[in-house]
Chains A and B, each alone.
Chain A
Amino acid sequence: MTYILKPQLHHPKLPTNSLGYTRRDYEGSVSTLCAGCGHDSISAAIIQAVYELEILPHRIAKLSGIGCSSKTPDYFLGASHGFNTVHGRMPSVLTGANLANRELIYLGVSGDGDSASIGFGQFAHAIRRGVNMTYIVENNGVYGLTKGQFSATSDKGSKSKRGVVNHDSAIDLVSIALQLGATFVARSFSGDKAQLVPLIKAALSHKGAAFIDTISPCVQFNNHAGSTKSYDFVREHNEAVNRLDVIVGREAIDVDYAPGETIEVAQHDASILRLHKLADSYDPTDRVGAIAYLQSAQARGEIVTGLLYVDPEAEDLHDGLGTVETPLNALSDSELVPGVEALARINAVLR
């Protein structure tokens, strides 16, 4: 098994963004996942989102753990540095990377095994620290690379391809993220690009811990009748609470939605999140309401998708630590090494 590079040739009339980059410039190697894998759709959505946000590819750092989902950063943003870390530990590596250079945009990609089982603790702590990141879980409820074991997000009572019924309760990462203090929480579906791309754009523009749980059916091991993470099941039970447009600061804001149907949320980077409300009672700036709404929908067997919660005024880990604006990896020797006189003073105190 080896890598496959994509040819660089593209149609001369392929559109470019304001940076002069085509969508192709945000692609990576050819995916080695199974044909029809939901994860490839998510990679495509990430590429589209970064292209539309007009981010220079090298200003993003992409990190992942281990598993099918964690292989995907090789398949998008080939001009960005990437780090495929160890199983379940992407959050800590991303946290350290973020501490080293606060100026880059951090995109963490993980799976349900990676984040809800082996890495549940790291998932929790990175979120509660408010690490400025976009954290996407490509959630298929199954271990793909080891061929079909249940993961901790598998619903109780759901059936594996081999006919085994899961008797353990599922971990709902969205509810957990809300309780842990994530300042941007969304859920989407890999098969719903129209919903997913704006959510990724909004998350990348968000300052603070942004979490997107993306249900992503596994065509090999979890797309059968009896699965609650299959394409058919999710399409039938998806209840979207809103639809999102992301308007970056430099674009003119047009108003063609009637008041009462939309909510506009301005994020710290001046981007505007325009939410077209689908569920009347849903307020995405109410954390407690969001948790209650999710729980009641879950009890009805509905999978709520959309932007579930956002705190546009969120602070991040660097705010908490009070670090300098200059990235720590760019500080000069003179800013780091206190020098001889300071050492003489310390020696004097220690006598």
Chain B
Amino acid sequence: MPVTPRYNDFVVKFANVNGSGSASANGLFANGVMRMGVPVAARNIFPSNIQGLPTWYEVRITEEGHLGRRGGVDLMVAMNPQTWDKDVAEIESGGFLFYDSTKPMPASAFREDIGVIGVPLTAMCNAAYQVPRERQLFKNIIYVGALCALLGMEPEVFETLFAEQFKGRQRLIDANLAALQMGVDYVREHLEPLPLQVRRADRVGDRIYVEGNEAAALGAVYGGATVCAWYPITPSTSLAEAFTKYCQQLRTDPETGKARYAIVQAEDEIASIGMVVGAGWNGARAFTCTSGPGISLMTEFVGLSYFAEIPAVIFDVQRGGPSTGMPTRTQQADLLAAAYSSHGDTKHPLLFPADPGECFTMGALAFDLADRLQTTVFVMLDLDIGMNEWLVEPFQWDEERQLDRGKVMTYEYLESGRDFGRYLDVDGDGIPYRTYPGAHPTRGAYFTRGTSRNPYARYSEEGAVYVDNMQRLLRKFETAKSLIPAPILKKAKGKSKDGVIYFGSSSAAMDEALAALAAQGLQLDGLRVRGFPFADAVYDFIAAHERVFVVEQNRDAQLKTLIVTEGGVDPARLTSVLHYDGTPITARFIAGEIAMLTATGQVEAAE
């Protein structure tokens, strides 16, 4: 057992059974660490199941503030006999196993190179509680108490958390405190503290701890969305639920108690996007939230939105595909399905939030972009960002900011006699003016359709008219480049010939990997892409580096495909680093892959 303690830098993983009440106890543990001023990065790894299957919760304790996954486990809290062997095997050499020692285990169940801490949780519960449900729930709290003592945490932080959680319900507070204390006392009497220690720090600051789905929903409220039509699908459901919660809280008319929003749980994803398109056509800001299978179903409407030029916002919380795939695992594998969604020649703007903070800002921005560009805008979350709580800077909003409704020809414009052609490119940016239905008694009405038509919205199948319109749509997409958030360049300390392009939920692990690689003497410039279509800066970055890696969480290198296709880049110029087993990418994986690829010379430097 190592003697020098490691402070505030290790990974604890809880292996539990789904539905055993462990989620709240594990969350309590993570919050306890943060209340000691130490940042955490926590991730749920859960099955597509309500009760009985294995579930894990990984808490990275990181004073340095690395919010991606590191990889590896230093302390395994093994509470699930089903997954025991796999869980024990996953512990780093020199790490620790915490288990329920009520029943004796054979020596073969353990490993020689790890420390083993047994606490007879079941026996303690059976002695203290009579009701089966209490035995189960308080067992979770007892292990939190034991960890508190083993890791040198302050029990007072849990007292505060119980008080906040149960708000004056003293009986519950006392019962939880008693269970916690049982764990603390057992460790103090029978065991030594571990060399993994949580030490009070001041590194959390005023940051907030929030899920991306909740942040995106709040972004939709601030972005002025009034219509939400959705169909339940993991991992996007909590976005619609959070939108409902925030609307009730923030959008109820104070005088009448009436709703300044309309939320409909539709019969399927097709109806969801249909309602969004109908509302967008009629001048309300509308969105749906879904995941891969929903995107597949929505494609016909996305094409209509593209061709008839109707604003819509889709939050795609990506999960493991294809087909039903891995519904409760994460991937970035819908990029191509979203970018080129629907039949015929189509392409659509995408936004790539890297964390819940950007889910909020991009969630609001998406509605301005959809109205400005009169098309569907996708916000590409994934399960890792959407359903895990992340520590991010507080949400901010500029009080002066106004919603950009785009080019809308009002009654006054129409009355003044301005020429109105629904698909007429007046300003040369490819974006025409639109009217809301009912705008004017005699002017501005038009017949919206998915069929080809001339600039005045009149049906036409003439080749020249069709081509002219399709070219205008390309000009509009060109305009979109300037409106999508610009990529963010992260320069290496010195001048570097190597670059890496990444996006979305890989970003936190990427930042850490870049630092690790730099420490090994491998300096890389990083470019975080924040949306599609790509700014010229993306292609300039590729041109400026001899070797360029593209890191993404899918099998087929979808971001690379988009970059190559849209910018005419030689595919050999880009080397993929791909992680797609459904777990969030880790810093160790990225650093290891890039180090390996460069060391083995698998990456040829460009001429």
The answer to the question of A350 belonging to the interface, with a C-beta cut-off of 8 Å to chain B, is yes
Question: Bound complex: CA of A347 vs CA of B257, how far in Å?
Answer: 25
Question: Bound complex: CA of A351 vs CA of B205, how far in Å?
Answer: 10
The answer to the question of A167 belonging to the interface, with a C-beta cut-off of 8 Å to chain B, is no
Do A82 and B270 have beta carbons less than 8 Å apart?
Answer: no
Do B438 and A61 have beta carbons less than 8 Å apart?
Answer: yes
Beyond known contacts A336-B226, A338-B221: 4 more, CB 8 A cutoff:
A92-B229, A95-B264, A125-B271, A337-B401
Q: A101-B283, A329-B282, A338-B250 are in contact. Are A96 and B267 (CB under 8 A)?
A: no
- Which applies to chain B's interface (DSSP): helix, strand, loop or mixed? loop
**In the complex, which residues 457-476 of chain B have their Cβ closer than 8 Å to any Cβ of chain A?**
458-462
Q: A58-B438, A83-B448, A337-B224 are in contact. Are A350 and B209 (CB under 8 A)?
A: yes
A325-341 interface code vs B (CB 8 A; 1 in, 0 out): 10011010101111110
Question: Bound complex: CA of A340 vs CA of B401, how far in Å?
Answer: 11
Question: Bound complex: CA of A252 vs CA of B122, how far in Å?
Answer: 83
Do A92 and B266 have beta carbons less than 8 Å apart?
Answer: yes
**In the complex, which residues 409-460 of chain B have their Cβ closer than 8 Å to any Cβ of chain A?**
435-442, 445-451, 458-460
Q: A82-B448, A321-B259, A324-B260 are in contact. Are A100 and B278 (CB under 8 A)?
A: yes
CB-defined contacts of B270 to chain A, threshold 8 Å: 89, 92, 122
Residue of B nearest to A102 (CB): B262
Do B437 and A97 have beta carbons less than 8 Å apart?
Answer: yes
The answer to the question of B301 belonging to the interface, with a C-beta cut-off of 8 Å to chain A, is yes
Q: Can you show 27 pairs from A to B with CB atoms below 8 A apart?
A: A3-B458, A58-B440, A80-B437, A82-B448, A83-B278, A86-B301, A86-B304, A86-B450, A92-B270, A92-B273, A95-B264, A95-B274, A96-B227, A96-B279, A99-B284, A100-B227, A100-B283, A100-B286, A101-B283, A104-B438, A125-B267, A331-B226, A331-B260, A336-B226, A343-B395, A343-B396, A351-B206
The answer to the question of A81 belonging to the interface, with a C-beta cut-off of 8 Å to chain B, is yes
CB-defined contacts of B264 to chain A, threshold 8 Å: 95, 99, 129, 317, 321
The answer to the question of B268 belonging to the interface, with a C-beta cut-off of 8 Å to chain A, is yes
Q: A84-B449, A86-B300, A338-B250 are in contact. Are A323 and B261 (CB under 8 A)?
A: yes
Do A2 and B227 have beta carbons less than 8 Å apart?
Answer: no
Q: A86-B301, A100-B286, A101-B438 are in contact. Are A337 and B281 (CB under 8 A)?
A: no
State the Cβ distance, B340 to closest chain A Cβ, in Å.
18
Question: Bound complex: CA of A336 vs CA of B166, how far in Å?
Answer: 33
Question: Bound complex: CA of A3 vs CA of B222, how far in Å?
Answer: 43
Q: Residues of B within 8 Å of A, CB-based: how many?
A: 74
Do B274 and A122 have beta carbons less than 8 Å apart?
Answer: yes
Do B274 and A89 have beta carbons less than 8 Å apart?
Answer: yes
State the Cβ distance, A329 to closest chain B Cβ, in Å.
4
Q: A58-B442, A73-B447, A337-B222 are in contact. Are A324 and B271 (CB under 8 A)?
A: no
Q: Which B residues form the contact surface with A (CB < 8 A)?
A: 206-210, 218, 221-222, 224, 226-227, 229, 250-251, 253, 256-264, 266-268, 270-284, 286, 300-301, 304, 394-397, 399, 401-403, 435-442, 445-451, 458-462
Do B437 and A84 have beta carbons less than 8 Å apart?
Answer: no
Among candidates B262, B267, B399, residue contacting A99 with C-beta atoms closer than 8 Å? B262
Do B397 and A343 have beta carbons less than 8 Å apart?
Answer: yes
Interface-central residue, B210, B264, B276, B300, by most chain A CB under 10 Å:
B264
Question: Bound complex: CA of A92 vs CA of B276, how far in Å?
Answer: 8
Do A99 and B275 have beta carbons less than 8 Å apart?
Answer: yes
Among candidates A58, A93, A351, residue contacting B277 with C-beta atoms closer than 8 Å? A93
Do A81 and B448 have beta carbons less than 8 Å apart?
Answer: yes
Among candidates B259, B260, B445, residue contacting A79 with C-beta atoms closer than 8 Å? B445
Among candidates A59, A93, A337, A338, residue contacting B274 with C-beta atoms closer than 8 Å? A93
The answer to the question of A121 belonging to the interface, with a C-beta cut-off of 8 Å to chain B, is yes
Q: A81-B448, A323-B261 are in contact. Are A2 and B459 (CB under 8 A)?
A: yes
Among candidates A63, A81, A98, residue contacting B445 with C-beta atoms closer than 8 Å? A81
The answer to the question of A94 belonging to the interface, with a C-beta cut-off of 8 Å to chain B, is yes
Q: A93-B278, A323-B258, A342-B250 are in contact. Are A58 and B445 (CB under 8 A)?
A: yes
A1-42 interface code vs B (CB 8 A; 1 in, 0 out): 111000000000000000000000000000000000000000
Question: Bound complex: CA of A328 vs CA of B257, how far in Å?
Answer: 15
The answer to the question of A346 belonging to the interface, with a C-beta cut-off of 8 Å to chain B, is yes
Q: Which A residues form the contact surface with B (CB < 8 A)?
A: 1-3, 56-59, 61, 63, 73-74, 78-86, 89, 91-101, 103-104, 121-122, 124-125, 129, 317-318, 321-325, 328-329, 331, 333, 335-340, 342-344, 346-347, 350-351
State the Cβ distance, B235 to closest chain A Cβ, in Å.
20
Question: Bound complex: CA of A124 vs CA of B267, how far in Å?
Answer: 10
Do B460 and A2 have beta carbons less than 8 Å apart?
Answer: yes
CB-defined contacts of A350 to chain B, threshold 8 Å: 208-210
State the Cβ distance, A214 to closest chain B Cβ, in Å.
21
CB-defined contacts of B268 to chain A, threshold 8 Å: 121
Question: Bound complex: CA of A331 vs CA of B262, how far in Å?
Answer: 13
CB-defined contacts of A86 to chain B, threshold 8 Å: 274, 300-301, 304, 450
Do B282 and A340 have beta carbons less than 8 Å apart?
Answer: no
Residue of B nearest to A62 (CB): B447
CB-defined contacts of A92 to chain B, threshold 8 Å: 229, 266, 270-275, 278
Question: Bound complex: CA of A331 vs CA of B250, how far in Å?
Answer: 14
CB-defined contacts of B399 to chain A, threshold 8 Å: 339-340
Closest 7 CB pairs of A and B: A96-B278, A92-B274, A100-B284, A96-B275, A81-B437, A329-B283, A100-B282
Interface-central residue, A3, A100, A103, A321, by most chain B CB under 10 Å:
A100
Question: Bound complex: CA of A86 vs CA of B270, how far in Å?
Answer: 11
Question: Bound complex: CA of A101 vs CA of B399, how far in Å?
Answer: 27
CB-defined contacts of A93 to chain B, threshold 8 Å: 274-275, 277-278, 281
CB-defined contacts of B451 to chain A, threshold 8 Å: 84
CB-defined contacts of A336 to chain B, threshold 8 Å: 224, 226, 251, 260, 403
